[in-house]
Amino acid sequence: MSDFYNRFDTETLGARHDDHYRTVFQVDRDRVLYSGAFRRLQNKTQVFKSGAHDFYRTRLTHSLEVAQIGRSIVNFLNKTVFNEAAIDVDLVEGICLAHDLGNPPYGHPGEAMLNDLMKKAGGFEGNAQTLQIITEQLHEDPEGDEGMKPSRAFIDGILKYKVLWSDRKKESKFLYDNQSKYLDFVSDGSKHYPEQSLECQIMNWADDVAYSLHDLSDGYLARFVTRKEIEKWADGHELSKEEAHYLETVIKKLDHREDFDRYLALRTGRFIEGAKIVERTHPLTIKSNRYKYAIEIEPEVEIENNLYKRLAVDIIFRSPQLEQLEFKGRYILKRLFETFLQGGPGNFDLNEKILPNVLREKLKHIDKNNYVAVARMVCDHFSEQTDISLPKIYKRLFDPDYGSFYDIV
């Protein structure tokens, strides 16, 4: 590990066993990589429903690609700016692998539905759920010592948002109120700073790059992204000279899949090299180099990246086909949640007879008269399901011809 990091960065949330051949950040990464929460991402939606075709990306393949892009950004910055291995590549890789752990089934529509269902119990947010998973759920100890005990730099690296639910100014992008203690730990005090660490910014850019380019790739394979659709989209939007040029180039590459794939690969490399380091003034610079530096994206790269994101949203995500699937996903989540738990604070009914054993066991450890605690437990159960397991629960409860006494529930 380089001198870029100090004890403040490597301090862990709880004591862990000494490791004589791995750094603190390598342990953080490995604990994510070998977790059940990470493996479940293979059956969670990225763009198209998981399992629809082998070549579409899932949350798992997306996370692996974000991790590779994140590593490449670090290698580029270390070579061109620091002339040494300053930024820890294992730390950034681990953060990238973990960034979507808290995402529920059905992607962002599923996240929005759970947030709506939890509006009287502290909300639901994918980033907050990721924080909950790595601090309280991964690698549970038989003696009751839970969580993967991550380092301060690792926790800080996944915190895209640093505002609590009670203090939020919008319906999404927050942490849960009971996670204030982790903000205390990250800043080593009760003063919480909203700015992202350097590693979090790198992860965010890697995620942006993967979204904008790989969503187009999947949309192309699914025949959403075509010459006709792009030209139709362009006719309905006022584009700058640069944006029109980028679209013309994309259209020229659409005739042959190999040309299109090669073009997207080249853009990935260009976007990686579009990240630059700048120095900044921040109260935490006295404690960590992670706040001494930030990244800026070259304006032309940011323009191109945003163009591709807009294109993917309008052509793919707002298509009737995906809108219908998202509607179905939201409906399944809503009906299951309200079947397990009806009512609200002060007057609610928990349908304990139909709860799976794993949820019954967890409910033994909380006050079942506390609506917020019960709702959070039910929400956690559904958020960790996949696009495959959740419909099975739904069909077992509501499809008369589905299910068996021998099903694992």
pLDDT of residue 16: 86
pLDDT of residue 47: 59
| Closest residue by Cα to residue 159 from 175, 170, 148 | 175
Contact by Cβ (8 Å): 103, 74: no
pLDDT of residue 292: 97
Helix then strand count (H, E) for the chain reads 18, 4
pLDDT of residue 192: 92
Q: Residue 336 carries which side chain, given as an amino acid letter?
A: L
Rounded CA-CA distance 276/266 in Å is 18
Q: Residue 14 carries which side chain, given as an amino acid letter?
A: G
Q: Return the ∠ at Cα 59 (arms to 314 and 233), rounded to 5°.
A: 10
pTM of the model: 0.93
- Residue carrying the six token digits 């601090």: 135
pLDDT of residue 56: 66
pLDDT of residue 138: 83
* Domains of the chain, residue spans: 7-187, 198-321, 322-398
Please provide the CATH number assigned to the domain covering 7-187.
Answer: 1.10.3210.10
| Closest residue by Cα to residue 93 from 60, 71, 115, 113 | 71
DSSP letters, 54-78, are TTS-BHHHHHHHHHHHHHHHHHHHI
Q: Residue 8 carries which side chain, given as an amino acid letter?
A: F
Token code pair at residue 66: 């974000």
- Determine the straight-line distance between the first and last CA of the chain, rounded to whole angstroms: 44
Rounded CA-CA distance 159/69 in Å is 19
Contact by Cβ (8 Å): 187, 284: yes
pLDDT of residue 396: 93
- DSSP H or E run through 245: helix 241-253
Ordered per-residue pLDDT tens for the chain, 409 residues: 789 999 999 999 988 888 889 999 999 999 999 999 999 998 886 555 554 445 567 889 999 999 999 999 999 999 999 999 999 999 999 999 999 999 999 888 999 999 999 999 999 999 999 999 999 988 655 455 567 899 999 999 999 999 999 999 888 899 999 999 999 999 998 889 999 999 999 999 999 999 889 888 888 887 888 899 999 999 988 999 999 999 999 999 888 888 888 999 999 999 999 999 999 999 999 999 999 999 999 999 999 999 999 998 888 877 788 788 889 999 999 999 999 999 999 899 999 999 999 899 989 989 999 999 999 999 999 999 999 999 999 999 999 888 776 676 6
pLDDT of residue 171: 83
Q: 3-state SS string over 149-193?
A: CCEHHHHHHHCCCCCEHHHCCCCCCCECHHHHHHHHHHHCCCCCC
pLDDT of residue 48: 52
pLDDT of residue 179: 96
- Residue carrying the six token digits 């700073």: 193
